[in-house]
Amino acid sequence: MKATVNQVLADITNCYIEIKGQKIVMNILPDISDSKSASYADEAAIGRTMPFKTYQHSENRSISWTAHFIIQKDNNDSQVGVVSVAKMFEYMRIIESAVYPYSSNDTGYKPPDICRLKCGGLLQRGAPISAVMKSYSVKFDTSVPWDFDTMMPYKMDIDMQFDVVYNQTALPGADLILGTLGPGTGTL
Q: pLDDT for 89-121, tens place per residue?
A: 999 999 999 999 887 777 678 888 899 999 988
> Phi, psi at residue 120, to the nearest 5°?
60, -130
For residue 165, pLDDT beyond 60: yes
For residue 158, pLDDT beyond 90: yes
73 inside domain = yes
Q: In total, how many domains does the chain have?
A: 1
> What is d(CA 180, CA 135) in angstroms, rounded to the nearest whole number?
38
> What is d(CA 125, CA 63) in angstroms, rounded to the nearest whole number?
16
99 inside domain = yes
Structural domain boundaries enclosing 91: 14-35+59-178
The three-state DSSP-derived secondary structure of the chain is CCCCHHHHHHCHHHEEEEECCEEEECCCCCEEEEECCEEEEEECCCCCCCCEEEEEEECCCEEEEEEEEECCCCCCCCCCCCCCHHHHHHHHHHHHHCCCCEEECCCEEECCCCEEEEECCCCCCCCCEEEEEEEEEEEECCCCCECCCCCCECEEEEEEEEEECCCHHHCCCHHHHHCCCCCCCCCC
183 inside domain = no
Q: pLDDT for 45-90, tens place per residue?
A: 888 888 888 989 889 999 999 999 988 766 554 555 567 888 889 9
169 inside domain = yes
8 inside domain = no
184 inside domain = no
185 inside domain = no
Report the pLDDT value the prediction gives residue 110, as an integer from 0 to 100: 83
53 inside domain = no
User: Structure pTM?
Assistant: 0.75
